[in-house]
Amino acid sequence: MDQHDVYAMLLRGRDLLGRGHHHQAATVLERASLLEPEKTSIREDLARALYLSGQKARAGEEFARVVELDPSNDYAHFGLGLCHAAAGNRKRALGHLKIAVAMRPDSEDYQHALARLAG
């Protein structure tokens, strides 16, 4: 497979995500991530698809990998925070949510998630 095929899989996964087909999106995006394991855009979308399909532990692994590859990715910190919160790890969740809010203070989603957990 070449770059064009991987990009087509990414677009297909995003389309499925946008239409609410989270499990199918995760399947397509997982295949793409195996072909391009260092592409944070693919891993971020895969993590989102996993999270939305209820696979929060696996989503957390993917978000953690994105943070490892790109520590400045605010959405990955946000997603990782949500995954830690879902697992009952409040302290780690707060840490990542605070980072996400610091990176993008204009994000209402980030602020609401932090307020819910901190409150």
Pair 59, 43: CB distance under 8 Å: no
pLDDT in tens, 80-92: 999 999 999 999 9
Tokens read off for 89: 């790890």
Domains and CATH numbers, the chain: 1-70 (1.25.40.10), 72-119 (no CATH)
pLDDT in tens, 23-82: 999 999 999 999 999 999 999 999 999 999 999 999 999 999 999 999 999 999 999 999
pLDDT of residue 119: 84
Would you place residue 22 in the very low, low, confident or very high pLDDT band (cuts 50, 70, 90)? Answer: very high
Helix crossing, 90-103 with 74-86: angle to 10°? 160
**Spatial separation of the C-alpha atoms in residues 71 and 108, rounded to whole Å:** 21
**Spatial separation of the C-alpha atoms in residues 74 and 114, rounded to whole Å:** 13
pLDDT of residue 2: 73
**Spatial separation of the C-alpha atoms in residues 46 and 68, rounded to whole Å:** 15
pLDDT of residue 1: 67
Sign of CA dihedral 7, 29, 100, 116: positive
State if pTM tops 0.85: yes
